[in-house]
Amino acid sequence: MTESIALLTIFVLAAFVGVEVISKVSSTLHTPLMSGANAIHGVILVGAIIVTGQADSAIVVVVGLLAVVLATVNMVGGFVVTDRMLQMFKGPGARKKELRK
C-alpha cells in the first residue's frame, strides 16, 4: 500500500513539473519540443506493448491495450501536428509543388 502511494505521489509531482515546463516554452521552440516528445511517445508505446505482452490477468491486458491505443494516437497525432506546423513555414510556391505530387 505504501509503495502505491509513493508511486502516485511521484506521478502527481511529475504531472505538475511537466505542466510548468511546457507552459514556459516559447512558441518558436514548440516544433523542436514536439519532435522530442514524439520520440518519448514512441518509447512509451514500446513499453506499453511489452507490459501488455507479459500480462497475467485479463484486467492488465485490457489496461495495457488501452495504453497501447492511447500511446499510438498520441504519437501519430504529434507527428501530424508537427508536420502541419512545419508546413506553415514553407512559402506558398512550395506548398503548391507538394500538392501536385
Q: pLDDT tens-digit profile of 37-82?
A: 777 778 888 988 998 999 899 998 999 999 999 988 888 887 887 7
The three cell numbers locating residue 27: 512558441
Q: Is the full-model pTM beyond 0.85? A: no
Please report, for the chain, the start and end positions of each structural domain, with discontinuous segments joined by +.
Answer: 34-99
Instruction: Say which DSSP state 89 is in.
Output: T
Question: What is the spatial distance between Cα 23 and Cα 40, in angstroms, rounded to a whole number?
Answer: 18
At residue 93, the pLDDT reads 67
Per cent of the chain over pLDDT 90 is 18
